[in-house]
């Protein structure tokens, strides 16, 4: 994406954000923040459990021997999450850090395989969460919800079922080499395939690690997915806490549906840097769709950004505890393809 387009999207999102804030009023938001008060602490700390589940799921992809401790994995997970947030649009700044941090224990190839495998499991879990949110929405939306909304949700649910089937196929039989073969036959991406051809041996190795994890360690595979799913279930409690801090109530299942649909909208609108305006607009619309005060949706988004910045700060500080320098040395010492 070009810089001018990225800047334009950022400005558009900032404009939407400013408009929504103006509609509600800064004074009202400040008053809400004062009412939330000490509840900011459990709201922010809740994400520690989210990271803990994800870190443990990542550890499961590394095997039992020659791997970093849980607390080292936990610190790297937080740091990588911070870097991903600080590299908008691509959300990939943390993956090189994770590979470099694992290299002293696993070597370059196994580290890359573990990071890719965990990323695939993480993405697969998100799809499961989106599908769950759609099913819940179809059951919980008010009766007066337009039928077109239900039809759109139904179509999206069917598409997600197809994506789930593709993910399972990739984990069973590998997909990276097949994608490379497909790219070599498509004119528009053939040049990229030529560049990646030099890494075919590495892709085959990564495919092997992925399928081996699925076939030889199905228990670990299922446990890793359950842990990632649990992390999202814990995260949805954030909406319950935020709304409760203002003296209102929202059921957990409704909160899960709203949070899952917002995450789906955020991935559709991933081109907007930092989701400025997109996240706020999505929460505003979803709260309204479920028959709730849309102002609560905007405030929920703002509190979520406070939590984001708190954990970004923690992640940046934890980078200093990650042995990136020694990891880089180990990576350079590993055999090249």
DSSP string, 1-49: --HHHHHHHHHHHHHHHHHHHHHH-HHHHHHHHHHHGGGHHHHHHHHHH
DSSP string, 251-300: -HHHHHHHHHHHHHHHHHTTTSGGGTTHHHHHHHHHHHHTTS-HHHHHHH
Q: Which residues of the chain have a pLDDT value below 50?
A: 1, 5-6, 9-10, 13, 89-90, 325-337
Which residue shows structure tokens 């370059």?
Answer: 108
- From the list 250, 228, 237, 224, the residue with the least C-alpha distance to 129 is 228
Contact 235, 46 (CB under 8 A): yes
**Which pLDDT value is given to residue 177?**
58
Question: Whats the size of the chain, residue-wise?
Answer: 337
Which residue shows structure tokens 């991933």?
Answer: 270
Q: What is the pTM of this model?
A: 0.78
The packing angle between helices 252-268 and 218-245, to 10°, is 110
- How far, in Å, CA of 237 to CA of 258, rounded? 11
Q: Buried b / exposed e across 213-230, counting CB within 10 Å, b at 16+?
A: bbeebeebbeebbebbbb
Domain limits, the chain? 3-333
Q: Token pair for residue 92?
A: 């990939």
Q: Token pair for residue 39?
A: 């509840």
**Which pLDDT value is given to residue 84?**
79
For the chain, report the end-to-end CA distance as a whole number of angstroms.
30
- From the list 335, 13, 101, 19, the residue with the least C-alpha distance to 205 is 335
- DSSP 8-state code for residue 322: S
Q: How many angstroms separate the Cα of 89 from the Cα of each of 86, 126, 269?
A: 10, 18, 9
């Amino acid at each position: 994406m070009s810089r001018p387009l990225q800047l334009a999207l950022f400005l558009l999102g900032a404009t939407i954000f400013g408009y929504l804030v103006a509609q509600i009023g800064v004074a009202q938001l400040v008053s809400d923040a004062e009412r939330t008060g000490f509840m900011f602490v459990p709201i922010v700390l809740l994400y520690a459990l989210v990271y803990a589940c994800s870190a443990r799921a990542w550890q499961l992809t590394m095997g039992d021997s020659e791997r970093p401790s849980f607390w080292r994995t936990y610190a790297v997970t937080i740091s990588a999450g911070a870097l991903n947030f600080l590299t908008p649009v691509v959300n990939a700044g943390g993956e090189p850090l994770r590979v470099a941090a694992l290299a002293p224990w696993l070597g370059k190839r196994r580290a890359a395989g573990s990071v890719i495998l965990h990323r695939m499991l993480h993405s697969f879990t998100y799809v499961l969460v989106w599908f769950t949110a759609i099913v819940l929405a179809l059951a919980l939306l008010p009766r007066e919800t337009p039928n077109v909304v239900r039809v759109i949700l139904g179509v999206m649910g069917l598409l997600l079922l197809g994506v789930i089937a593709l993910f399972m196929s990739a984990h069973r039989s590998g997909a990276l080499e097949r994608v490379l073969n497909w790219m070599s036959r498509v004119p528009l991406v053939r040049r990229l395939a030529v560049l990646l051809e030099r890494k075919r041996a590495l892709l085959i190795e990564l495919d092997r690690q992925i399928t081996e994890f699925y076939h030889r360690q199905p228990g670990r595979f299922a446990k890793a997915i359950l842990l990632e799913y649990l992390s999202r279930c814990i995260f949805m409690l954030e909406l319950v806490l935020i709304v409760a801090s203002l003296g209102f109530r929202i059921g957990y299942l409704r909160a899960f549906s709203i949070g899952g649909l917002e995450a789906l909208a955020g991935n559709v609108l991933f081109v907007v840097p930092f989701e400025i305006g997109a996240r706020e607009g999505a929460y505003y619309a979803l709260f309204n769709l479920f028959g709730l005060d849309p102002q609560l949706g905007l405030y929920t988004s703002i509190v979520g950004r406070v939590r984001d910045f708190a954990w970004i700060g923690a992640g940046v500080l934890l980078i200093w505890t990650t042995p990136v320098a020694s990891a880089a040395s180990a990576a350079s010492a590993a055999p090249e393809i």
